[in-house]
Structures are given as C-alpha cells and as structure tokens.
Amino acid sequence: MRYLPHTTEDVAEMLAAVGAGSLEELFAAIPPECRRRAEMRLPEPLTEWELDAHIDRLAGRMATAPEAKVFVGAGSYDHHIPAAVGFLASRSEFVTSYTPYQPEVSQGTLQAVFEYQTLTARLLGLEVANASMYDGASALAEALLMAVRVTRRPRVALARAVHPLYRRVVETYLAPAGVEVRELAFGPTGATGAAAIGDAAELAAVAVQSPNFFGCIEDLPAIAQTAHAAGALCVAAFSEPLAFGLFKSPGRLGADIACGEGQSMGIPRSFGGPGLGMFATRMQHVRHMPGRLVGETTDVEGRRGFVLTLATREQHIRREKATSNICTNNSLCALTAAAFMACLGGSGLRELARLNYDRSEYLKARLRQAGVGLAFDAPTFNEFTAVFPPRFRDTYRRLLDRNIMAGLPLEPYYPELADHYLFGVTETMPREDMDALVREVQS
C-alpha cells in the first residue's frame, strides 16, 4: 500500500478510493475562510549535510551557557546533571510517551512512575502525587480547577507575584469554565500578605508561588490559615523545587495542593522544553486529582506489582465524569526527575539547595556593595530583584552584545517595575563570572 503519493495518478487513485472527485471536494467540509489559497513559500530541499550546516548557523545565533553568561532563571534553571540520570533516561525501555495500560508488559515503566510519585510526595510534603502534568503552568491551572471541584465555589484568588506566564495559562484554562480569578497584589517586601486575600468566603482556592517570581519566599502558613478559615484550599505553586531542599515543604506549611515546574530536577533547559508538571495533594482529595496515579499491589501469586490505580481523563471514564483532559504521558520526564532526586538523596538536595542559596546571596551582596538597590527585602532563593538607574538600559544592551544577560527586565510583565531586573544564579555560575558582572555594572 502506498501512503505518500508522488504522482498525479497516485492522487487520483487515493481520491477515487474515498469517493472524492478532487482535492477541493475532499476538503469541502472545511470553511473557505479557513483554507489556505496561496502556495506555501518553502525553500528548496536540502541535503543532509546542507541541513546540518544550516542548523549550525542557527545555533550560532543562540546565546547559551557556559559560553554566554546568563544571569536569569525566571522559571527555567541551569543545574549540573549527574551522568547517571541521562544514561537511565536514554534506555530504550523508557523512551516512550505511550501510557503503560498493560501492567503485565509495563512493570518497569510503572515502577519508575511509582518511585517518582514517592519521591515527589516526600519532597513536597504531601501524601499523594501524580505523574502526568504538562508543565508548571498547566499544573497550576489544573490545581485551581481541582479546587473548584472540591469546594464547588466559582472563584479563586491568584497572587500577582506568580509567574506571569503561569497566570496567562490559568486565565486560558479558567475563563471558558466560568471561573472568576481575583488578583492578589504583592506588598513592599515582594511577598503576598495574607491581608491581601480579603473576604475568602466564596473562594475555592488561594494560590501563591513560593519562591515567587521575584525570588521571594511567601508566608505560606499565614496564607493557608486565612484560606482554611474560609473553607478554601491553599495552592502552593513553584518553579524551582530545589528550594524545598532548604526551606520547609509546601505540605508542611499548610498547602493542600503543591504544583509547579520540575525542569530543575535533571531536565536540561533545551531552549524551552520539555518541562515536567509536578503535582501533589492530600489523600482526602485524591479522587479530584487530575492525571494518572500508579499504585503498588500484589498479583495472584502474591508478588509485588504496579498498576494504574487512577486515570481520570475522558478516555478512561465517561466524558462528563473526567476531572481533566490531560492526556500526554510525561513518564520519561518523571523518570528523569526521579533519577535526579535518587542520585542526590536527601542530604545531596540539601547541600545543592544551600549552594544555590549561597551563590545568589553572594551576587546580591556584591551588587549591593556596588551601589545597586534591591527592590524587596523578603528572604529569597536563587533569584532576587535589583533596581538600576534608567541609564543602565544602555549598559544592559551593551552587555547583551557581549553575550552577558544581566538579569531579566521586569517592566514588560509589571509596568510599575520599570528599571527592575530579575537576577538568577545557580551552582553552575562561577564566582569569577559574578565578580566580572559587578565590574561591568560599575563601569
């Protein structure tokens, strides 16, 4: 059977097989305004080596570490990854996006997901974790929808200090569902005070990010207490889970749902993807949790085994009963994160988190000594917000031309924060590079 027609006769034969007289008739069901009328302007085909050269030229236009000095995190972080992580993740047994429906032939994948869930639940301080969110932004949106299901309330409160792109995804998810999103302002410290919540009587959830987009640590216990007093859930988002190697976990601080981006856990930045949506909650809410849950059981002979215990998407149960339309199986990214967490262990995570904290505090102190102001005084992790005079914009562009990205300008995301720059450093940033940046800022 031929699948790719190469001649007019091939096209005619295929059209005849489906009972269509022409390509126009075949696509008649598509409204005319949705069809492309002009020819596609595509370049001529390239040989394999010509394509390689073209890709090399494109890559040469990208500024990447370590050649470029990138003092930016903003939800994506550069970390050293143990060699064992890449080796395990590249094994053919795991390199698949296919859902492990059949336990009798999928025990390896199922156990890997189970181990990931166990490690994630421990890291986030909650009782149960799933293994099938797209990324941190979709995990937060799904968490808020889950809170609406649990409480049957039509409104949520979302801190403005949550990652701006996460907030956009939340709006995309919640607007069609008729869920109102109330924005919570951040205070002069850079954190969201519990007083900003106001009347929470009709809220399904109060959602904050800690560390937040500015790198500041939120007062989760106070926010959780205020939410719980009104019958709402506390949702704790994050984009840097490594912070919980040093700071208390969201679950221990009162969060009902913890969700966020797991890219830091052994997944390279890779020019923006892939990501891993980490998601954990309390056992009492497990029936409302989106995604998949792998459980441990025994077979008829009493041997330990693993199965899909809960699968809540529309393909598994009646459509109106589904809690989510999340379909992609992120088990390869989950396996990578599990291998990373297992390689480091509890003490390793603490040491790495402390090293990251110390690096960012070093740069913060050096910039302060150089006369650079700090926007907020709340404790931070990995990132902090600096304030420069307007003339720094010329310096910033000059440094970009030299492959030095001196922070992320916040004005496009927060218009009131003109001349504010978000700096982020991890254990991969040498001290001499931070000292060089300070000298450039002073010049």
Look at residue 8 in the predicted model and tell me its pLDDT: 73
Token readout for 244 is 């919980």
Q: Can you tell me the distance from the alpha carbon of 222 to that of 226, in angstroms, rounded to the nearest whole number?
A: 6
Where among 285, 320, 341 does a domain terminate? 341
What is the DSSP-derived secondary structure letter of residue 232? Answer: P
422 shares its domain with 362: yes
Last residue of a domain, one of 341, 364, 381: 341
Token pair belonging to 379: 């404790």
**By residue range, what is the domain housing residue 410?**
69-81+345-442
Instruction: Please state, in angstroms and as integers, the Cα–Cα distance from residue 33 to each residue in 39, 101, 286, 325, following that order.
Output: 15, 41, 45, 29
Omega within 30 of 0 (cis) for the link into 66: yes
- Which parts of 226-361 are beta strand (E)? 233-238, 257-261, 277-281, 292-298, 304-311
d(CA 75, CA 166): 10
The CATH code of the domain that includes 256 is 3.40.640.10
In this structure, are 315 and 385 located in the same domain? no
pLDDT score for 38: 84
Residue 3 is predicted with a pLDDT of 47
Q: Are residues 222 and 350 in the same domain?
A: no
Q: Is residue 128 part of a domain?
A: yes
What the block records as the tokens of 151 is 């409480």
In angstroms, the first-to-last Cα distance of the chain is 69
CA distance 337 to 241: 11
3-state secondary structure of 261: strand
On the CB side of 5, CA atoms within 13 Å amount to 10
Q: Are 223 and 147 in a shared domain? A: yes
Residue 135, in any domain of the structure: yes
248 & 280 share domain: yes
pLDDT average per 10 residues of sequence, the chain (443 residues): 58 88 86 85 91 91 84 95 93 77 83 94 97 91 96 97 98 95 97 94 97 98 97 97 97 98 94 90 94 89 90 62 70 92 96 97 97 96 96 94 94 97 96 96 84
pLDDT of 1: 37
pTM: 0.88
Do 297 and 376 fall into the same domain? no
- 38 inside domain: no
- Cβ contact 103:308 at 8 Å: yes
Is residue 329 a part of any domain in this protein?
yes
As a whole number of angstroms, the distance between CA 275 and CA 75 comes to 10
What are the beta bridge partners of residue 235?
207, 257
Do 305 and 394 lie in a common domain?
no
Adjacency order of strands within the sheet including 155-159: 128-129, 277-281, 257-261, 233-238, 203-209, 155-159, 180-184
User: Which region holds residue 86: left if phi is over 0, alpha if psi is between -120 and 50, else beta?
Assistant: alpha
**Is residue 119 domain-shared with residue 231, that is, in the same domain?**
yes
* Beta bridge pairs of residue 312: none
Burial class (CB in 10 A: 0-12, 13-18, 19+), 106: buried
Q: Is residue 409 part of a domain?
A: yes
* Alpha-carbon span 323 to 317, nearest angstrom: 10
CATH number of the domain bearing residue 403:
3.90.1150.10
DSSP output for 149-217 = HHH--SEEEEETTS-HHHHHHHHHHHTTTT-EEEEE---TTSS--GGGG---TTEEEEEEESS-TTSBP
Query: What CA–CA distance (Å, rounded) separates 418 from 179?
Result: 32
Q: Do residue 203 and residue 214 come from a single domain?
A: yes
Say if residue 141 is in the same domain as residue 256. Answer: yes
280 is a domain residue: yes
Residue 341 CA, chain-centre distance (Å), reads 17
Q: Is 211 within a domain? A: yes
φ/ψ of residue 211, rounded to 5: -60, 145
What is the count of structural domains for the chain?
A: 2
In a domain, residue 62? The reply is no
Are residues 308 and 360 both part of a single domain? no
The CA distances from residue 201 to 84, 107, 157, 182, in Å, are 49, 46, 11, 13
388 and 251 inside one domain? no
Which of 341, 364, 379 represents a domain boundary (last residue)? Answer: 341
CA gap 210, 223 in Å, rounded: 11
Q: What span, in angstroms and rounded, lies between the C-alpha atoms of 55 and 121?
A: 41
